[in-house]
Amino acid sequence: GMGGLGKTTLVKKVYDDPDVKKQFKFRAWITVSQSFKKEELLKDIIRQLFRVHRKPGPKGVDSMDYDKLRTVINKFLQQKKYLIVLDDVWHTSAWGAFQHALPNNNCGSRIMVTTRNTEVASTACMDFPDRVFPLDPLSQEESWILFCKKIFQSNTCPPHLKNVSNGLPLALKV
């Protein structure tokens, strides 16, 4: 979905939920963005995963190449239930950089991807197309209710402000 719909906010609520934290001991949140260096993102995953153990990551992570980083992550997660969030993925090449690092280990692991690009969503969920959840802008009425709750803590508001958000929840939150 388009920017401002609340994709990141929604996934962050799930990621930070205490029950989700109990379910997934091994978790990492990676913000990908438009310009990314795949090696740096993989290093970030390694740091976050090893932080759970309160142990330093493998020696020499900073000098590892892409293939070695991918292997380290894959081996580490092989028999573990993990949750990885890839936030703000703009290109299918970014998904490609991660998909072979993250094992399909039948342990109940999950990878959540937020994106504005429908091609990225389709590629990431190629085997499970029913797991793509497009977000649509709020209706005028939903925007109005959210606006009133955020600003006035009620359902009353000056009528001239009613069309201010154009259905984008982030515009109301800010």
In this predicted model, what pLDDT tens digit does every residue of 45-95 receive, in sequence order? Answer: 999 998 877 777 788 898 999 999 999 999 999 999 999 999 998 888 888
Q: What is the mean pLDDT of residues 39-45?
A: 94
- Is pLDDT above 80 for 164? no
pLDDT band at residue 128 using 50, 70 and 90 as cut-offs: confident
Lowest mean pLDDT among 39-53, 94-108, 131-145: 131-145
Residue pair 5/137 in contact by the 8 Å Cβ criterion: yes
Domain ranges, ordered by start, for the chain = 7-131, 140-173
- Is pLDDT above 90 for 146? no
Lowest mean pLDDT among 16-25, 29-38, 130-139, 156-165: 156-165
Residue pair 105/134 in contact by the 8 Å Cβ criterion: no
Q: What is the mean pLDDT of residues 40-48?
A: 94
pLDDT band at residue 2 using 50, 70 and 90 as cut-offs: low
- Is pLDDT above 60 for 32? yes
Residue pair 101/129 in contact by the 8 Å Cβ criterion: no
- The sign of the CA dihedral 74, 77, 79, 84 is negative
CATH code linked to domain 7-131: 3.40.50.300
Most confident region among 52-66, 77-91, 113-127, 128-142 by mean pLDDT: 77-91
More confident residue, 60 or 152: 60
What mean pLDDT is reported for the chain? 83
pLDDT of residue 54: 74
Question: Order of strands across the sheet with 26-33?
Answer: 26-33, 82-89, 110-113
- Is pLDDT above 60 for 116? yes
In this predicted model, what pLDDT tens digit does every residue of 13-28 receive, in sequence order? Answer: 999 999 999 999 999 9
